[in-house]
Amino acid sequence: MQWQQFLMVAGAHFLALLSPGPDFLLIVRSALAGGWRRAGAVCCGVALANAVFIALAIGGIALLRADTPAFRWVQWAGGAYLAYLGVRLLGSRSRLDVDALGGAASGSGLLGGLLSALLNPKNALFYASLFSLLAGSATPFAVQCAYGVWMFGVVLAWDLALAALIGHPAIVARCARHLHQVERLTGGLLLMLALAVFAASVPH
């Protein structure tokens, strides 16, 4: 039964990982603009943010529940951050403006990835829902922690693989002439995501 549960948890987590979101857009754009090393720093930031949500979900922190004012503040902050990134990218004037989603240093890339994932309310909801189900099925705490470590590792490995693929010099060279259009497209998508987050945060 434990293996069946693990396969269910791992499968649900991986399917959620495949769903494109702001973290995916951030990694792709960073890889095209600065290569896999810069995108790798973003990946580490995204993975660390996931680790924070996992720890909060295992601890049963009420902040992650969708019906709390704190969660609505996270939604608004996340929407504002996505809108900020979108406007920055739409306003970039050349492909040399590679700092729109984070600075040139690795630390800035790390911070950009961390903020992107921390301010994504879907991450909070996913982990809160998944671990509340595990807690309801009396899954031992040690097993939940093992699942959390697994999820952190998968997020980091998947994002690093994505960054290495897109940030390959041959792909970057091929896409360099189109980076301006990529920035415009990414900026537009981020603004659409921001609007969706704002709409979801309005009480119905």
Q: What is the mean pLDDT of residues 124-150?
A: 84
Distance CA 110, CA 81 (A): 16
Is the torsion defined by CA of 138, 142, 146, 152 positive or negative? positive
pLDDT score of 50: 94
Distance CA 3, CA 146 (A): 13
Tell me the pLDDT band of 112, cut-offs 50, 70 and 90.
confident
pLDDT score of 64: 57
- CB 98, CB 33: distance < 8 Å: yes
Distance CA 170, CA 150 (A): 32
pLDDT digits 0-9 by tens, 56-94 = 888 876 555 666 676 677 667 767 776 877 787 676 654
CA angle 162, 165, 167 (to 5 degrees): 100
Q: Who wins on pLDDT, 108 or 161?
A: 161
> What does the domain layout of the chain look like in residue ranges?
22-201
